[in-house]
Every structure is written in C-alpha cells, then in structure tokens.
Structure 1
Amino acid sequence: MLTGVATRYDLLCEACADLDAPELLDACAGCFDRAEADADLGWRGTPGILRHDRDLGGAWTTTACPVTPLNDHCLAPLPDGWLALTAEGLVEIGGEPRPIGPVDVPPEPPGEWAGHVRGPALYTSGDGRFAAVVTDYGRYGAVVDLASGAVTLALDRQDYHADTTRFPVAFLDAGAGPLVVAATGWNRLDVFDAATGRLLTDRVTSHEENPEHYFDYFFGALRPSPSGRVLLVDGWAWHPVGVPLALDCEAWLAGERHAPEHGRMLADRGYCWNRPMAWIDENTVALQGIGEDEPMLDGVELRDAGADRRIGMFAGPAGQMWGHRGLLYVTAEAGFEVWDPAAGARIGFAAGFRPTAHRDGTFAELGNDRLRIWSSAR
C-alpha cells in the first residue's frame, strides 16, 4: 500500500488493504523481508513523484537535415555524428548527409506481439566502423562495413518465438577491433569478428549433447556496461517470466566458453520484459517498471549487477532511457527528463524534445527535416 511519499509503502494482506484505516504493526527488517518474499504482491495507492527541476544547462544546436529514420530505433551514434536507417538505406550524418546505401536483410511479414510491432533497429560500433541492422521481434539482421557498405555478417536467430523479444545484438570494443554479440538461436548468443564475420565462440549447447550447459531462456535486448565487461540482457523464461541477466563478457572472451549459459539473474518479473533498461554505472542497472508482476508502477528499480539485489527505486520514468555519469536520461511522452537516481528525483526537463539516440552525454532528435541536439555539461 503506497503511502504517497515517494515509493514508501506498508505491507498489508488483502483483507486489511480493503479497510479504511487498517491497524499497522511494526516489524523487524528480517520478518518484513520474509513476509514480502513469500507474498504474491500487487500495488495499491499512488506513489509520490519527486521533481526538483532546474535549468538543464549544456548546449543546444538545431540544423536542417532532410533525413527521416524509419522509426525511433533507427538512429545511432557515430564518433563525430549519427547514422540513420531510412527508406533508401543507411545515411551518415555529420556535416552534409552521406548516403551509404541499402542493407540486404531478408524481408519478414508484418507482426505484432503484446503491442510490440516488428520493425527495423540500428546499432553502431564504438569506433564507427560497423553497423548492425536487425528486425526487432523478427529473425534476421546484418552487420555492415560503413566504409564500403558491404555486409560482413548475416544474422539469423531462427524463428522459435522470435516475435517475443527485440533482436539480441550489441557491439563490444576489443583490442584487435570491434566484436559483435548476436543471437544465433532463441537460447544462444555468439561473438563474431565484426570485420570478417568469423565465429569466435564455437561450443555445444544442445540439451541432448550438453545438458549441463543447456539454457532454457529466450534472449532479448543487450546492453553492454560502460566498460563492456558485463552484458545486461532482457529476456524471458517459461511460465513466462521476465528475467534480466548480467553476463560476464570478460570471462567469456577470456575462455570461459559457457559464460552466456550461466548468467546472473537480476530480478524475477512476471510477464514483464521488453522494458527499457540502462547502466547507471559499472555496477548498477536501472530496470523500468516497479514490482514483481504486471501491472507495474511507472518508475525504475535499481539493481546491483554483482549481487542480485534491489538497492533502490523511484517512481516516474517511463520511456526510452540511457545512463551517463551517474544520471538517468529518459525520453518521455511530454519531453526529455533528467533523473538523479541517488535522490530518486527528476532534476531537469525539456518539453517537446524527444531524442532517440545518445553518445557520451549528447542526445539527438531527428525528424521534420531537422536535427536537434542537446549536449550535457557533464
């Protein structure tokens, strides 16, 4: 039962929750935690949303740019600009837009699952050499060399329940050049050399041949930690339940072949996945949606990526989000929000600005023949 003060709440049985003035008892932390862990919890009441808005500061620029991304997931950062996926193909945006050309990804029929519409998405490597064009809630994708426009790797995660998750793909920076992590099946991730498409993680994962390392899990969106050592995974397992994971990429690339099959579970969220998530810092992740089951509260749960425990939560954020130097940035329906996770409060807002891409504290909105950018002072 939410008290209306931030996300503070009392723990009540259903019968007491129906009373106008239930009698509350004090309990020690251990008893409270056990009761909470054993309960099938839902929310009642309304949380308090803390807003301590101040001037955003930073720098704004707006330039003419007659380039139209296919959707809100089709703009991605480059070291000195942006890359857009348009109806004509990839376009590099720095000064004058530079067409790179179409990308050969097998077409897929229109589809929708639980309100999530199948469509294209775009990712770029940190050095700006490569891009991945994939079909979210679909099967196929491709890695492209942006200098030549050539496809270096065709992606196929097969079609078993592919319509339930975003396409799992992410770039990792390595000393010898960028690597790309991508799903090659519903329950399997692999690492490839982005330049050559060479598989670097050959192993056996089938239940028949290697039951010890079989993983009954549907991989979804991937988000590397700031250092790239850990991979945050959004996915689900039967019954179904959303299960965000932390995968040790450093150990995987160092030779621990089955690291992806033994990720650390960060939460158990009934029927809840395909929600925005972000890294606050190297050890803390933000998962959008507060609770253990649908319907969830609009807001963020902070999780310790190394210890599988909730370390905070605050109400309010709803929309695409990014972490940068300890703050959380959210593209909400009304505009752009800056949140301080330590205080659990919104500390800045820009009405009408709805960026869809981020690079090191710089946020970009591309549409209506203009490119609008805000750069943080942090």
Structure 2
Amino acid sequence: MAVAGSLRTCEHLLAEESPDFYRVLTGSGVRYDVVCEECVGKPLLTVCEGCADRAGDGGENLGWKGTPEIRHEDRFVAGTVRAESWDVRPLNERCLAPLPHGWLALTESGLVDQAGFVCEAELEVDQAEPHQRRKPLLALHTSADGRYAAVCVDNGSRAVVLDLSTKAVVLEVDRGTYRSEWTPYPLAFLPGDRVVAATAWSVLDVFALPSGERLTEREAKGTGAFHGRLTPSPGGRWLLDDRWVWSPEGQVRAIDLETWHADGGEPIGTCLAQRAYAWDQPVAWVSDDLVAVQRIGEDDEAMLDGVQLFELPGGRRQGVFAGPAGPMWGHKGLLYVCGADGLEVWDPLSGTRIGLVPGFRPTAHRGGTFVSLNDGVLDSFSVD
C-alpha cells in the first residue's frame, strides 16, 4: 500500500520524462510544492511518498518561488555591553581571534594583544594570479588555551604556527598552489597540543605542538577533494571540513578524529551537505553532535537563506528553517548570527529568532562573548 505523503505536485512531473520545475513555497516553514512552469498557480495533486521522491526526475530545478515562513519571536537579550579603547587595526575581519582572557589581533606590525605587542608574524600574502576569483587574505587562529597562534593565507598556499610563550615559529605548512585560491587555508587547533593542517591540496595531517612532529605519518594519497575551512566540535571528537570537489561542488563533511587516528589513511568523513557551486558557507556546532549549516538547496543559484541541522554520527538531517544569513556561532544550544540588522539569536530546535542586538555586528567569539574592533574601540556583548 502506498503511504500518503504531504508533497503536492502536478501530473507533468510524474511522467517518465518530466519537464523542468520550480519549488513553490507554501508559506508554512520551508514546505514547498514541486510544480512545472505551466502549472504554477493551478490545482495540484497530493502524492504518495514514492511518487514524491520521483517527482521532477529528469527535469532541472529552476529555483524557488514564493516566500518562506521566517519565525520571529524576539524578546530582550540579556547581556553585558562594554566598549574598551584598543588602538590597533586588524588587517581584516579574519585577523581578530580569542585568547582565554582577551583578544589577539594580527596587524601590520605583527601580533598584538590588549597588553601590547606580542611578536612578529611574517607571512606574505600570495600574489593573485589573473585567473583567481578569490582574493588571498591573511587569517588568524588561536588555540583554546591561548598558547599557540596560526597565521594562514586564506585562498593561498601557506601557514605558520607560533608558540606565543616563546614567540617562536614551531610549524610551517604549505599545501601548494594547485587551486589553492578556492578555499580558506585548512587549519584548526585540536585538544592536547595538536594542530591539523593541509599539507597538499587533498591531504590533511595532524602535528604535535610545540615539537612539530607529524602524527599522521603515512604514504599520503589524498582524498580527491580540495580541503577547506576546518571547524572542530566543542568536545574535539569531530572536525567539519568544508571542501570543494569537481564540477565544482561544495561538500560539508564531518571527520571522526578518533576513527581517523585509529585507522590512519586519509579522512573521508560523513557527507552532511553537497551543493553545486556553494562552499565556504557559515557553519556552527549547536552541540557536540549537532551541526548547523547555512543555506537550503542543492545549487548556489537556487538556494534559500536558512539553516539545515545534521546529527552525528550518521549525518541524518534533523531540521531545516529559513532566515539566518551571515557569520554564525553556536553557544549553549543557541545560534548567534551576524545579520544585516545586528546580532541575531536563533533557537535551532524551533527554528525561531528569539532575540536581536540591534546594530552590533561582531567578527569574533569566545564562550558567549562577541566582539567587534573598529576605529580603536573594542565593542563587546557577553550573553548573561
């Protein structure tokens, strides 16, 4: 017996050779009908689950029509607001990073914390080739304990790791120039004085710090994917890798670090989302096993602003809701998004925006404190 579904479609999309189609939003969350151009606005059929899976097979998704339901139930966001004088100028928005009790900036003179100059950090930005579509930029990362900092060339080929306690470079890595312009430099600090970084376009390695010893010594064969931005889970078990692969497509994959350590080889990971021409999208950890990935759809030209939620292990999609668009962080089960109107607070379980800090657009986060640094003033908002 066929199981009744909730998808509505037109008879043309049930044919063996179906025409191109639109996803027509119904106004209830992100629910939609699948409709060919001829039948937009006409009565539709409610089909069984099997037919719903086949609707539109053979046709091209032409994008979305209509408007999703974006849920706003804003209430007062309790927090502490501060403005401190800090007369430094980060090189760009990627050059401000957290320390356990403060912040570190990468400036023209080097690394500077709120007490003053820390050390030099010499790394030249790769010169953009004529074919490059993404400008190389320096980016700053810090370890959770504040001992180490990494300076990377995003959309470039090289990175260095410094021990801030000795002011010495303890690791230099280079992934080569092959298509390096397409992704931020893949590097992230891990628990236990370790760092994971790309050592070729399709190879990740883990190093011990401060020795720089490679802990993943093996014959590197690569994954066939271009590694991208790396985002560790709060507990340190998982690592998100925002890759791109030919043709090109973006793939957000979750690597189980324990499994990789036990099995060796190259980390394949669990694919959470795969989208044509869409990668380097905002992601955040809601918890140790729940991931939020921005944008809804399968193609960069036919996507909605919003969030998809994926559960680990397994990678099953647990929810989807419209609205969030911008840099995103997770904190105590909520999502904080730097949106057009300020810092938005979203409840991912209900898919509802529950608060807004108007006009505040942070670029860095540490444990519930969000900061921006402009014109010599460090503005911060700490969630109560």
TM-score normalised by length of structure 2: 0.89
Matches within 5 A, 1:1-378: 1-17=24-40, 21-35=41-55, 40-41=60-61, 42-93=63-114, 97-110=115-128, 116-174=134-192, 178-206=193-221, 214-253=222-261, 255-258=262-265, 260=267, 262-295=268-301, 296-377=303-384
Shift of 1:307: 2.2
Shift of 1:294: 1.6
Shift of 1:180: 0.4
Residue 282 and residue 33 in structure 1: after superposition, are their counterparts in 2 closer, same or farther (change >3 A)?
Answer: farther
Q: 3-state SS of the aligned residue for 1:243?
A: strand
Q: 3-state SS of the aligned residue for 2:260?
A: helix
Aligned residues: 359
Shift of 1:197: 1.1
Whether contact under 8 Å (2:204, 2:266) holds in the other structure is: no
What is the alpha-carbon distance in structure 1 between the residues aligned to residue 104 and residue 130 of structure 2? 26
Whether contact under 8 Å (1:248, 1:259) holds in the other structure is: no
Shift of 1:259: 5.0
Shift of 1:112: 8.7
Question: Greater strand percent: which structure?
Answer: 2
What is the alpha-carbon distance in structure 1 between the residues aligned to residue 242 and residue 298 of structure 2? 15
What is the alpha-carbon distance in structure 2 between the residues aligned to residue 39 and residue 99 of structure 1? 59
What is the alpha-carbon distance in structure 1 between the residues aligned to residue 142 and residue 50 of structure 2? 46
What is the alpha-carbon distance in structure 1 between the residues aligned to residue 44 and residue 109 of structure 2? 63
What is the alpha-carbon distance in structure 2 between the residues aligned to residue 25 and residue 194 of structure 1? 61
Shift of 1:15: 3.0
Gapped regions of structure 2 (runs ≥ 5): 1-23
Whether contact under 8 Å (2:203, 2:266) holds in the other structure is: no
TM-score normalised by length of structure 1: 0.90
Residue 14 and residue 352 in structure 1: after superposition, are their counterparts in 2 closer, same or farther (change >3 A)?
Answer: same
Amino acid at match of 1:5: S
Whether contact under 8 Å (1:133, 1:143) holds in the other structure is: yes
Whether contact under 8 Å (2:102, 2:113) holds in the other structure is: yes
Whether contact under 8 Å (2:133, 2:181) holds in the other structure is: no
Gapped regions of structure 1 (runs ≥ 5): 207-213
Tell me the equivalent position of 2:6.
none
- Could you say what the CA RMSD is over the residues aligned between the two structures, in angstroms? 1.8
Residue 334 and residue 105 in structure 1: after superposition, are their counterparts in 2 closer, same or farther (change >3 A)?
Answer: same
What is the alpha-carbon distance in structure 2 between the residues aligned to residue 188 and residue 49 of structure 1? 40
Amino acid at match of 2:247: H
Residue 112 and residue 33 in structure 1: after superposition, are their counterparts in 2 closer, same or farther (change >3 A)?
Answer: farther
Residue 38 and residue 246 in structure 1: after superposition, are their counterparts in 2 closer, same or farther (change >3 A)?
Answer: farther
What is the alpha-carbon distance in structure 2 between the residues aligned to residue 311 and residue 113 of structure 1? 39
The structure with the larger Rg is: 2
What is the alpha-carbon distance in structure 2 between the residues aligned to residue 144 and residue 320 of structure 1? 26
Q: 3-state SS of the aligned residue for 2:139?
A: strand
Q: 3-state SS of the aligned residue for 1:10?
A: strand
What is the alpha-carbon distance in structure 2 between the residues aligned to residue 186 and residue 299 of structure 1? 30
Whether contact under 8 Å (1:75, 1:83) holds in the other structure is: yes
Shift of 1:336: 0.9
Shift of 1:114: 7.9
Shift of 1:276: 1.0
Shift of 1:267: 1.7
Shift of 1:104: 2.3
Q: 3-state SS of the aligned residue for 2:64?
A: coil
Q: 3-state SS of the aligned residue for 1:268?
A: strand
Shift of 1:34: 4.2
Shift of 1:33: 3.4
